[in-house]
A = this chain, B = another copy of it.
Amino acid sequence: MISVIILGSGNVAHYLFKALNKSVDISVIQWYSRNLKQIQEFKSVVSITDDISKLDKADIYILAISDDAISSLSEQLPFENRLVVHTSGSVGIHDLDKKLRRGVFYPLQTFSKDVDMDFKHVPFCLEALEKVDLELLKTLANAMDSPYYKINTEQRQTLHLAAVFVNNFTNQMYRIGHEISDIKNINFDILKPLILETAKKVQNISPYMAQTGPAMRNDKKTIKRHLKALDNSMHKDIYELLTKSIKQTHGKKL
């Protein structure tokens, strides 16, 4: 049985509490938050505290807090030589105080407060300074039925950047689709199956192989008509740049 203490009260902390608490191989023995109110509802199932000096002894401490707070909270921890991990995509492992055994337990996923996530769909990026700690993190991911990958800090920061493209920028493509169709009184629902299928397709084939459309075919007539139809200059700029990018990827003349 691995004992865990969670620190933080955001979406990741909430997700981890749920996922870890469900596992028979893990005991979440305490939950710390600066702001006790945000975890108050869990006080009947786990010991909660807002006092850093009252942290119990555990096998793993998980700092699921904002990037900026990681370094200073790790300094404040009133113990040494215990395994402390953060859950950030961009903070280095050495940003944790060196009095600790240090590691990273980064879930590469987008969490919403009220959306339940299948644990199998939350891959963890693991990093630790000691081999024995890495093994402990693997056991932790296994206990949640989550896939995991050994990833160093540079790779993790790259993944965080790649995630901006496949998540934030993709979502902005959806937003623009929404804006464009709203203007013509078109129900955005019509586009939803296409959005889902586009994401499903690259689960099995590469994005390179999955590409279709006017830019990929270098269909100048359609591209010209689309640019003419766009009257928002930002939409036009994005259409032009991404058309150019697709052509470049697929070896068409720019």
Residues on A facing B (Cβ under 8 Å) = 67, 90, 108-110, 112, 115, 117, 121-123, 125, 149, 151, 154-155, 157-159, 161-178, 180-181, 183-203, 205-208, 210-216, 222, 225-226, 229-230, 234, 237-239, 241-242, 244-246, 248-249
Question: What 6 A-B pairs have minimum CB-CB distances, sorted nearest first?
Answer: A199-B199, A168-B213, A174-B207, A175-B207, A162-B177, A166-B177
Between A and B, 27 residue pairs with Cβ closer than 8 Å are A90-B225, A108-B190, A110-B201, A123-B189, A149-B187, A151-B186, A155-B186, A159-B186, A159-B190, A161-B229, A162-B176, A162-B186, A165-B176, A166-B191, A166-B198, A170-B199, A171-B201, A171-B202, A171-B207, A171-B211, A172-B211, A175-B249, A195-B203, A196-B203, A198-B199, A234-B248, A238-B245
The reply to whether B170 and A170 form a contact with Cβ atoms under 8 Å apart is: yes
B238, A193: Cβ atoms closer than 8 Å: no
| CA–CA, A210 and B194, complex, Å | 18
Q: Do the beta carbons of A194 and B167 come within 8 Å of each other? A: yes
- A173: shortest Cβ distance to chain B, in Å? 5
B197 touching A110 by the CB < 8 A rule?
yes
**Most chain B beta-carbon contacts within 10 A, residue among A121, A183, A191:** A191
Bound Cα distance A209, B110 (Å): 13
On whether the beta carbons of A158 and B170 are closer than 8 Å, the reply is no
